[in-house]
A and B are shown apart, each in its own frame.
Chain A
Amino acid sequence: MSEKTNTDVIFAGFGGQGILMVGNLLSIAAMDEGRQVTYFPAYGVEMRGGTANCTVVISDDEIGSPVVGHPRACVVMNAPSLEKYQPLMVAGGTLVVNSSLVGKGDVNRSDLSVLFVDANEIARKVGSLQLASMVALGAYAAKTGVVSVETLCACLPKVVSKKYEKFIPLNISALKEGASFA
């Protein structure tokens, strides 16, 4: 069991930012690459406008807890998420920050590997603000190498419903733009 191949990540932001969708996409990509994976969403209470987060654990071995107390990586899409998860992260962890909505000065841990991504702005240029989490996922995947960006792109049809499949090319652009940032 190596630290490199076994990892976990928390995606967190506002409800409606597509947090759960990118968690699903990463999980399915990891499964397609032959890994074991768990996905645990915050469920139940708020659907839009509230906080949303999900935890993805990826391993080559049986996964114990699907919930993680001290994450090895976080992708934070808004300021409250940074406030909540930054103190919990393990030293040397990877922190991807949506610098469109989070002030760089709010990152106060010097023992983390931090990547600022202007995700909202990049998403807007790609074609829709709603792609911001997809941009951040591309950046996270490229930076950590946990799954390939190609696998993420190939798995998009499994998480995008038929009704919205015309937006798959935009999602691919968003993933690639994010990846180029890493």
Chain B
Amino acid sequence: MSALYIIAVGLGSAFVLGMLNERQKNLGYVITLAALTVMSAISAQWLIIFAATGAHPIDIFTAGTQPPFAINLRMGVIESALTLLISLTGLLSAIHMGNALVARGRRAMAVLVIAIMALCGIVLTRDIFNLFVFFELIVIATGGMVLLSDDERAVSAGFKYLIVSQFISVLLLIGIIFAYHATGTLNIDGMAEQGASAFALAFFLMFIAVIAELKPFPANGWALDIYESSHPGFSAIFSAATGTAVLFAVDKLLLIGGAEWFPVASGVGIVTFVGANLLALPQTNDRRLLGYSSIAQTGLILTVLGQQDILGQNYLFIAGGLLLAHAVAKAGLYWLSDLVASRQLTAWAALKERPLLVFAFVTFVAMLCGLPPFPGFYAKWELAHALAAEGRMAMLALILFGALLEAGYLFRWFGYLIKRESDEKVVCSATQAIPVFAAVIAGWVLGFVWGELSVTRFGLNNLLLTLPLLFALSFLLIEWAPAWLKNTVAIGGMVAFFVMTYAEYDPLRLIFAVIFLIGGAITLLASYSAHGRRVGFYPAAMLMYAGMIMLIRTTDSFGFFAAWELLTVGSYFLILRGKESEPHALSYILFSLGGAFLILAGFALAASAVPPAPTFSLANLAALTAPVAPWVFVLLAVGFMTKTAAIGVHIWLPGAHAEAETDVSPMVSGILLKAGLYGLFVLLMAMGKQQLFGIELTHALLWIAALTALLGNLMAIFQEDGKRLLAYSSIGQMGYAVFGLALMNHLGWLMALMFVINHYIYKAMLFLSVGGVAKRTGTRDMYKMGGLITLMPLSFIATLIGIIAVSGVPPLSGFGGRWIFYNAIMTSDVRMPMVILFLAGPIAFLYLFRLIYTIFLGQLKDEFRRVKEAPFWIVLPQMIYVALLMIFAVFPGIALRRVDEYLNQFFPEGGLGWSGNEITSAYGYWNPVSIMIIICVIFGVLLAWLMFVDRKAQKVKQFNIVFSAEAPYRPETTHFAWNFFAPYRKALGFLVLPLATMFWGTITGLLHTGADIARRFYTGNGQTYAFHFLLFVIVAYAIRIGF
């Protein structure tokens, strides 16, 4: 059917609606739905034809003559996709707004149909005046649709909108008539042939008028009020459909203007993207926030329109991916907002009882943030590469900064949804659910389509076809099952995948694969202790593991980045599950996404120097040369170090790890941190030493690592909270591992690997035992515990073994790490960082001692007399870890020997000698077996002697002490374990001032303050907004003519 019928059906049905009787409301509604369905069907039919045959666009001539003597419409693949998007949005919104439409009657329905028809008209027409007419129709229809809202304030919002629209139409008309005067045609293609240079001012007026319809920042107060107060069904149209149509109109005008006008589009676009996202930060009203986000997203796409000179044939892939992701997600969110009774963001907590709605929300947020596997992700990747290839790094940086702001408020919102309380009930009727889930399905389908396109166009991967991701997503389908069943499936899947792929890894990757898959499976044993269905846990956990395993299996930059984002998102959901973890999960995701953006920028920059873009083998990083290479190194290294929590970007870790659930802490600490180390391995393997401004970058890395180790350990000793102590200790431990890597010699790397293995085992074990104790006692404050050794003996054993291993004293594997470490630094020529690292060692003793002393020794509190050993499923993995630690302590060769040989290809010098049980280096030898025997003998003798001499010792009981017969004020101050290391705090406290926290706090504070100041310009007065608009036009013109 000809595309002209889209217009005809729209107009015709609006006429029919007008002729209906006032009471035939249901009939009118049926006609409305039918008309919108037919319009969608026509578009869909053309989309299928164009997509299947690749046919050229078809011109439709009206009035029986050729342009410029008559208006012509054009239907091509883009047009059909956009009109389909518009009319489907209209149809779904009509379903969504069913009650409101029926209540308002036929006039409202006619207005809706006209609005959709006019939006399609904007897409289809090739006549500039016709474009103006459709624009005016939209203004009038918008004016009508706004009145659908129950919100009284919508009336004033609509009036403000009309005021500014009047100004816009004056500019547009004047522009059109002078452009016509100059070219003698109203046909867009005709004008394009002649070029805009002959009528630059007229073109500017047309162009700025059409851009104004996109609500560019800061001339957009009038539109925001519409977003906030309209019926959400209409806001969905206003955001998704109107935005789409106007963007395409801008694209048509750029056809006339040519490359000369691209910078204007880019400039307005990027200012809008960053500005609107910034202003969205302090918003508390959900629909206004979505309005800001809509404006920001259209700004981003406008930026892309302005970059089309360098995007070439990828232009549509990028702009289309961003546009569709935005439209589908934003419409979905607006429809979803109708289910929430109040308008504060926190009120969305009402949705959390409905997993399907939460899933819908997650889908939309992920689409907006450009996370895999949605279209925006592929588009973002391509865009970053195109920008980097042309050296437009500043533009890339602005885009990524804006995207980070957007992720900030969207994920904060998601945190509210999951963690806040709401007593409002969610009532979701079928008519409200249909549009939301249609959008969810559309989102995933588009993700698949863009994945396929990325395969055929660029040879990337379709992420939705990768086995680990599919496995993770399949848990969404079995959410109804009990937790133990899902746990079994998860463990089985991970082990099976390891067995399937075991042979494919080189020794280095094998160690990571074992930790990620087998180690992950062991940690999951603890999850058997959870009851119920545990909705949301398994998809998140499996997403994280899928990301991690994809990370080590991939060999190219795209796969690496995709895996990185997947594991980040999965772990974020996992961390967010903790009771008090809302702010910590947010800071985790922000640091991680910030890091991910740096990695993206690094890869894009690298790809610009090592063709073929858009993805390259990671090994090709080695081919990079200065001046690009050191920058790539810095970007990637900092990106990876956000995950290993290097000092300065560590502030997310303590809260995230400590507040996580008992069985989640070992996953995100013992396992997840290794992803960052793996990234550094890959980076250093390929790029090795780099110099920037004369600084050896690995040397800088050494300093960072040493400080991280020292300060991480120092901060750990001052914690009262057992899990926080362990979390800070992880920061220190990661410092050691990074130090080993940065040494850039054979033994340093071996030591780093030793830390990878050791840290996984003992940190997972310690988090489980301390977590188990916290679970039983109901507190994480160590001074509130004490004397639990007899009640929780197995947890005690695990902790004891754990701290012996961490501290690096013989006989356990920590000592092996130290031994290799000492050998490694002897072969290196750095001095000062080494001294710092040495200092960090004894500090570790302090916090470890505290751990065992305060929790398990000392006096048992009265309220804990009936405490039982931790649940079986939490103890079991600990016992497995004890066994593993013992085995690894006695036979380190099973893991290290092959790696030692593997490392020879990078560092032929300085390997270890392996003969029997003995390991030799250039400086000495280490025999784990005999060390174990010697230590055991000494320990046994000492213990027996102690027991002998202490046989008459009297046990001090709790009431053997008094405080002048009074209960002390703040009893914990008298507890020996409270503020345990107060003297050290006096001496070294200045080192642990929360400088990094203050720094990042100041930055977010400044952003919020800036946004709050900018908000004051949005006075709510329609005249002020009109004035903003005129000022915007004048400033844009001044910049344009090079003022």
Partners in one complex: no
By a beta-carbon cutoff of 8 Å, the part of chain A in contact with chain B is none
By a beta-carbon cutoff of 8 Å, the part of chain B in contact with chain A is none
